[in-house]
Amino acid sequence: MNKTMTEQESKRKTDKRKGKTKILFSVLLGVYDFIAVCAAYFLALWMRFDFFFSHIEQKYLDAFGKFILFYGAFSVLVLWLFRLYKTLWRYIGISEMVRTLAVSLLLSVVHAVAITLIFWHRMPFSYYIGGAMIQAVFLIGMRFSARMYSNWHSRKAFSHMPMDRVMLIGAGNAGQMILKDMVANPVNRDKVVCIIDDDPNKQGRYLESVPIVGGREDILSAVQKYRIDKIYLAIPSATAEQKRDILAICNETDCELKQLPGIYQLISGQVTVSAMKDVAVEDLLGREPIRPDLSGVYSFINGKTVLVTGGGGSIGSELCRQIAAHGPKQLIIFDVYENSAYEIQQELKELYPTMDLVVLIGSVRDSRRMFKVFDTYRPQIVYHAAAHKHVPLMEDSPCEAIKNNVLGTYKTAYAAMVHGCERFVLISTDKAVNPTNVMGASKRLCEMIVQCFDAKIKAGKASEIPQLFTHEGWENADKDGTGSVFRSIRTEFVAVRFGNVLGSNGSVIPLFKKQIAKGGPVTVTHPDVVRYFMTIPEAVSLVMLAGTYAKGGEIFVLDMGSPVKIDTLARNLIRQAGLKPDVDIKIEYTGLRPGEKLYEEKLMAAEGLRKTENELIHIGAPIKLDQDLLFKNLNTLMNAAYANDERIRALLLDIVPTYHPADNSGDKPTITIYGAHGKEEKDELHAAG
Which of the residues are catalytic? 431
E-strand spans in 13-108?
none
- Distance, CA of 685 to CA of 689 (rounded, Å): 7
Of the candidates 684, 687, 661, the one whose C-alpha atom is nearest the C-alpha of residue 671 is 684
Please report, in angstroms and rounded to a whole number, the separation of the first and last CA atoms in the chain. Answer: 70
Separation between Cα atoms, residue 25 and residue 30, nearest integer Å: 9
Strands 555-558 and 617-620: antiparallel
Q: Look at residue 234 and give its three-state secondary structure.
A: coil
CB 196 within 8 A of CB 212: yes
Q: Which of 261, 262, 258 is nearest to 278 (CA)?
A: 258
Pairing verdict, β 256-259 and 230-233? parallel
471: left (phi over 0), alpha (psi -120 to 50) or beta: beta
From the number of C-beta atoms within 10 Å of its C-beta (0-12, 13-18, 19+), residue 646 rates as exposed
Which one, of 517, 526, 501, lies nearest residue 573 by Cα? 517
* 3 state SS for 643-676: CCCCCHHHHHHHHCCCCCCCCCCCCCCEEEEEEC
Backbone angles phi, psi at 492, to 5 degrees: -105, 130
Identity at 312, one-letter amino acid code:
G
**Which residues does residue 681 pair with via DSSP β-bridges, in sequence order?**
672
Distance CA 651, CA 673 (A): 26
DSSP classification of residue 679: E
463 DSSP assignment: G
Tell me the β-bridge partners of 15: none
- Nearest C-alpha neighbor of 366 from the set 418, 411, 420, 311: 411
Query: How far is 359 from 317, CA to CA, in rounded Å?
Result: 12
Please tell me the distance from the alpha carbon of residue 208 to that of residue 633, in angstroms, as a whole number.
74
- Write down how long the chain is: 689
Rounded Cα distance between 256 and 584, Å, is 14
What's the Rg (C-alpha) of the chain? 36
Q: With contact defined as beta carbons under 8 Å apart, do 463 and 488 qualify?
A: no
Report yes or no: 236 and 172 within 8 Å, Cβ to Cβ.
no
| Single-letter amino acid code for the residue at 269 | G
Yes or no: say if 364 and 307 are a contact pair by the CB < 8 Å rule.
no
Backbone conformation region of residue 595, classed left if phi is above 0, alpha if psi is from -120 to 50, else beta: left
DSSP assignment of 290-335 equals P----HHHHHHHTTSEEEEETTTSHHHHHHHHHHHTT--SEEEEEE
**CA 519, 523, 527, 528 torsion-angle sign:** negative
The beta strand positions in 289-435, using DSSP E, are 305-309, 330-335, 357-361, 381-384, 423-429
Cβ atoms < 10 Å from Cβ of 639: 13
Paired with 424 in beta bridges are: 382, 493
CB-based burial of residue 562 (10 Å sphere; 0-12 exposed, 13-18 middle, 19+ buried)? exposed
> Can you say whether the dihedral through the CA atoms of 480, 483, 488, 493 is positive or negative?
positive
